[in-house]
Structure 1
Amino acid sequence: MKQAYTLSIFSENSVGLLNRITSILTRRHLNIDSINSSESESSGIYRFTIVVKTTEAQVKKLVLQLEKQVEVMKAVYHTDSDTVFQEIALYKISTRSISEGNLVEKLIRDNNARILSVESDFMIIEKTGHKEETQELLDFLSPYGVLEFVRSGRVSVTKPMGELEGI
């Protein structure tokens, strides 16, 4: 049965590695639902966090294939229940919506979002949460004039200890 898996790929910071990773996924007919890359807690080691929907058998094969890449030190996969994860979303909305009363401000407060910037013709709102939560706020704000919207890739840490052991 297909489900979401979070891949954590630990590697050197190498030009072309992301291209090879996406090529491996493409050959397996897997679509990337979310991707994020950053330095890890270990000096010189970078972490790719990729979310894919697939079967456990296929994700196991995928991890083995990823670990064959020279620059990859370790690749692991986890289910959503094995990770703590969040995404961040930014919403640019027209300031005219503020003049429509306190409804937008109430929506922002009720959704645990915050206003980052207010300009003469727009404001920027930030929401951190799961994809469903950021999507829900987008749906609520849409009638008030969303000018731009962007959502980050998943950032996650695993619940099990010792993921970087042996690197």
Structure 2
Amino acid sequence: MNMWAILSILVENKPGILFQVTHLFRSRNFNIDSISVGVTEDPEFSRMTITTYGDEKRIRQIVKQLDKMIDTVEVRQIDEHHAVFRELILFKIKVGSADDSMKINSLANTYGGKVHDAKKDSIMVELTATPDQIRAFEELARPFGIIETARTGIAALQRSRS
């Protein structure tokens, strides 16, 4: 049975490490659903957060393979029930009337979104949320006409156990 997995990979901040990690996924015929990479609190290290789908055996296999890489410091599968994870998405939505604009603004407020670049014919909404919340917003915004989207990968941290 396929499951969604969030992988947190702490790597040495060196050129080429992103290629090595993505190549490992490709060579194992494993798809990356989302990826985000950034320098950590220590500039010598970067954290990659990768989401993917696969059965438990394949997820364990990819974690083991990632852990064997030379520039990898730590690989963890994050339990989504004990973590904070968010993704940022920008929606450019068609506006047909002033009433549409008000409805889109209201929808954005309901989901904690921020409105940017409101024009006569379109409005841009920034939303930082879980993938499920993003999908729910997208379903409600679709009737207006989604012109364009741009999204980041998921950022995630395991909650403290205390």
* TM-score where L is the length of structure 1: 0.83
- The alpha carbon displacement at 1:106 in A equals 2.3
C-alpha distance in structure 2 between counterparts of 1:148 and 1:99, whole Å = 21
- Per the alignment, residue 83 of structure 1 pairs with 83
The verdict on how the C-alpha distance between 1:39 and 1:97 changes in structure 2, with shifts beyond 3 A counting, is farther
Alpha-carbon distance change, 80 to 99 in structure 1, aligned in 2, over 3 angstroms: same
**Distance change in 2, residues 1:155/1:98 (3 Å):** farther
CA distance in 2: counterparts of 1:112 and 1:50, whole angstroms: 25
Change (3 A) 1:37 1:98: farther
Please report how far the alpha carbon of residue 132 of structure 1 lies from its aligned counterpart in structure 2 after TM superposition.
Answer: 1.7
- Call closer, same or farther: CA 1:160–1:102 in 2, change over 3 Å: closer
Task: Give the corresponding residue for 1:30.
Answer: 30
Specify the alignment match of 1:164 in structure 2: none
Structure 2 residue runs without a partner (length 5+): none
> Which residue of the partner structure matches residue 14 of structure 1?
14
Compared CA separation, residues 42 and 100, structure 1 to 2 (3 A): closer
C-alpha contact (below 8 Å) 1:17/1:71 kept by paired residues: yes
Tell me what 2:105 maps to.
105
**RMSD of equivalent CA atoms:** 2.1
* AA at the equivalent of 1:4: W
Residue number in structure 2 paired with 1:140: 140
Q: Is the 8 A contact 2:93 2:123 kept in 1?
A: yes
Deviates more, 1:51-60 or 1:1-10: 51-60
SS at 1:60 equivalent: helix
Identify if the C-alpha distance between structure 1 residues 107 and 97 changes in structure 2 by more than 3 Å, giving closer, same or farther.
farther
Segments of structure 1 that go 5 or more residues without pairing to the other structure are 162-167
**Count of residues in Structure 1 that have an aligned counterpart in Structure 2:** 161
Cα distance between partner residues in 2 of 1:65 and 1:49: 16
Change (3 A) 1:97 1:80: farther
1:74 equivalent in alignment to 2:84: no
2:101 and 2:49 map into 1 onto residues whose CA distance is 41
Residue type of the alignment partner of 1:33: D
